[in-house]
Structure 1
Amino acid sequence: MSELLLEVSGLKKYFPITGGLLGGVKGEVKAVDDVSFHVRKGETLGIVGESGCGKSTTGRLLMRLIEASDGKIVFEDKEITSMSMSELRKIRRDIQMVFQDPYASLNPRHTVEKILEEPLIVHGIGTKEERKRRVHEMLEVVGLSSYHARRYPHQFSGGQRQRIGIAKALMTKPKLIIADEPVSALDVSIQAQVLNLMKDIQKEFGLTYIFISHDLGVVRHISDRVGVMYLGRLIELADSEELYENPKHPYTKVLLSAVPTPDPDIKRETILIKGELPSPANPPLGCAFHTRCSECMDICKTTRPVGQGENGHFVACHLYNKE
């Protein structure tokens, strides 16, 4: 087993709801609610779930782009959550992010060379000549050419812009890359190219990924382990093949039943989910999924399930409670 790179325990992010004439706090949105997991060096952890489940908020918490309400984030035995901004800047050399919309994350007024050089300038890395050489090297790595450095983001296709976003994340030689829906805005054929590029880069540079997506097909292609989130909670976590072949949580089964299969001879029953997604401002008592679950029991309505783990397969569901 490779050593731990990142360990997250009890992570929470509650956003206050304000309103009224005096602008007082009326409640809170539990965007991330007591999430724990770890990531080992060299692996890819996929985090999946429908819109509003808290997966993107989790990614931003790990970078401390937003501050956690509670919990600990430990990167290489250093606790990020209690660091000062000056200490955090050093850590951010090792943790970089690839965003969903490559056009929104690239400054339209700057050339590609200036965009890619910026992280090196911020962290005081290299001379001007060394930075320029690094820019050209990273463009080649992601399948572009050095002459692209003189162009602006609007002169590239969506797939090329995402390659530039990946090159930017690689500039500081990070150890961990958090990819937040990095291919969801791209055509299917381009998605495959970018995913294969990310896998090749991972092997070449020994990278570790946290890959966030709503698409279980995409996540299966790239992930070693997969975590499923629902309404701010991590409800199942297992090795990729184990999760796809032997899902345990009723919600995971629903998600997987909707994933199309390329083999027309395989007939898969689609599991219909009832009801609407509850509001994270007013989550259900007990199990968050109980209002939509076909296997709901009385205990599910009142008691939050404790996560059970066996052979690396974690599930938070009363169906598997051994007590």
Structure 2
Amino acid sequence: MSQDTQKLLKVEDLKTHFPIGRGFFSKGKGFVKAVDGITFELNVGETLGIVGESGCGKSTTGRSILRLVEPTSGAVEFRGTDVTQMGKQQLRSLRSEMQIVFQDPYASLNPRMTVGAILMEALETHKIGANGAERKKRVGELLSTVGLSPNHASRYPHEFSGGQRQRIGIARAIAVNPKLIIADEPVSALDVSVQAQILNLFQDLQTELGLTYIFIAHDLSVVKHVSDRIGVMYLGRMVELANKSDLFRNPLHPYTQALMSAVPVPDPDVKKERIILTGDVPSPADPPTGCTFHPRCRFAMDVCKQIKPAQLEAEPGHFVNCHLYDPQYNQGAKN
């Protein structure tokens, strides 16, 4: 994958909280802290994988960046402009540069429209192509690009397999020549053999079109296959962020270590310590004080229960939110 030092996206202390009622006898409202202070940067041509268990805020992070969900606070700078401060008209013009591929390829396609009409709608909305004939030609090219036949333009979504429908979703995303694509668990609903084909398609399109990806998944093997860097999320926070090779070679955060220990090893002779986490994931409506992982952490200290850890650069390019790597609280990291 091509790497360019030019910064495309900068996310700083992004928070997205959803208001909820506290109950019949309680006054006021509480909040589900789906995203609770995420910071990272993304370079042109790079793929950032975001991984974590269900409910950790991965998808909300992606949708907040695109403002499909309105962030509560923080900044999202796309090519130097803060997306969170844009008006509706400015945001509309930016949509062609930032696109999303959804998890469910059937629910995200209008069943009453042909594939050609779905792609044509994207072209017409963003005024791509001088006339109908030119747009129709573009539709055929898009279908060919994602491995389908131009003749498929007259068919409806229900006439395709899950993998083919996801190809249509990808074609719709690249139709408007975006710079950034957020792929929100795009292969989790597909068979394993089809997953590999779609992942390879994403990589081919990145090389061909110079795309930049945020690739959201809960499967470590998937993000390892496609990503340059990986961010690990837990309960609304990105607890670790590093190059793919560094993260798999030396996971620093206790939660990441537990995730890595659960990855199967194909060689039966290789023995691997399995780290079993105790307890359940706390509710994002009532997260623990201090570090949200401390109730399940085998290395938890008193400070972890009181103070939320800051993002530290424990090694060059390797960031971790953990007091174990802060000299103020601990002289050496636990492994």
**Fold shared per TM-score above 0.5:** yes
Q: For residue 81 of structure 1, give the secondary structure of its aligned residue in structure 2.
A: helix
Is 1:37 aligned to residue 15 of structure 2?
A: no
Alpha-carbon distance in 1 for matches of 2:281, 2:22: 23
Alpha-carbon distance in 2 for matches of 1:25, 1:206: 48
User: Where does residue 320 of structure 1 map in the other structure?
Assistant: 325
Q: For residue 164 of structure 1, give the secondary structure of its aligned residue in structure 2.
A: helix
> Sequence identity of aligned pairs in percent?
60
How far residue 124 of structure 1 moved from its aligned partner, in angstroms, is 1.7
1:123–1:32 CA distance, 2 compared to 1 (3 A): same
How far residue 302 of structure 1 moved from its aligned partner, in angstroms, is 0.8
Q: Are the equivalent residues in 2 in contact too, given 1:96–1:169 (CA < 8 A)?
A: yes
User: Where does residue 90 of structure 1 map in the other structure?
Assistant: 93
Deviations 1:282-315 (A, max 9, x none): 1001111000011111111111111111310000
Alpha-carbon distance in 1 for matches of 2:45, 2:323: 33
Q: Are the equivalent residues in 2 in contact too, given 1:17–1:25 (CA < 8 A)?
A: no
In the alignment, which of 80, 103, 114 is matched to residue 111 of structure 1?
Answer: 114
Deviations 1:79-132 (A, max 9, x none): 110101110111110000000000000000100000111111111221211111
Q: For residue 122 of structure 2, give the secondary structure of its aligned residue in structure 1.
A: helix
Deviations 1:42-74 (A, max 9, x none): 000000111111110000001100111000000
In the alignment, which of 202, 216, 225 is matched to residue 229 of structure 2?
Answer: 225
Q: For residue 111 of structure 2, give the secondary structure of its aligned residue in structure 1.
A: coil
Is 1:69 aligned to residue 59 of structure 2?
A: no
How far residue 209 of structure 1 moved from its aligned partner, in angstroms, is 0.2
User: Where does residue 331 of structure 2 map in the other structure?
Assistant: none
Query: Which structure 1 residue ranges, 5 or more long, are not aligned?
Result: none
Alpha-carbon distance in 2 for matches of 1:46, 1:239: 10
Is 1:58 aligned to residue 66 of structure 2?
A: no
What does 1:233-312 align with in structure 2 at a 5 Å threshold? 233-309=237-313, 310-312=315-317
CA RMSD of aligned residues (A): 1.3
How far residue 270 of structure 1 moved from its aligned partner, in angstroms, is 1.7
In the alignment, which of 166, 174, 178 is matched to residue 170 of structure 1?
Answer: 174
1:198–1:284 CA distance, 2 compared to 1 (3 A): same
Q: Are the equivalent residues in 2 in contact too, given 1:16–1:25 (CA < 8 A)?
A: no
How far residue 24 of structure 1 moved from its aligned partner, in angstroms, is 6.3
Q: Are the equivalent residues in 2 in contact too, given 1:45–1:227 (CA < 8 A)?
A: yes
Deviations 1:215-270 (A, max 9, x none): 01100000000001100011100000100111000000111111123333333222
In the alignment, which of 189, 193, 201 is matched to residue 189 of structure 1?
Answer: 193
Q: For residue 257 of structure 2, give the secondary structure of its aligned residue in structure 1.
A: helix
Alpha-carbon distance in 2 for matches of 1:265, 1:100: 37
Alpha-carbon distance in 2 for matches of 1:91, 1:262: 45
Give the partner amino acid of 1:315. Answer: V
Alpha-carbon distance in 1 for matches of 2:266, 2:144: 33
How far residue 20 of structure 1 moved from its aligned partner, in angstroms, is 4.9
Q: For residue 228 of structure 1, give the secondary structure of its aligned residue in structure 2.
A: strand
Query: Which structure 2 residue ranges, 5 or more long, are not aligned?
Result: 329-335
1:135–1:40 CA distance, 2 compared to 1 (3 A): same
Q: Are the equivalent residues in 2 in contact too, given 1:11–1:68 (CA < 8 A)?
A: yes
Give the partner amino acid of 2:197. Answer: Q
Q: For residue 183 of structure 2, give the secondary structure of its aligned residue in structure 1.
A: strand
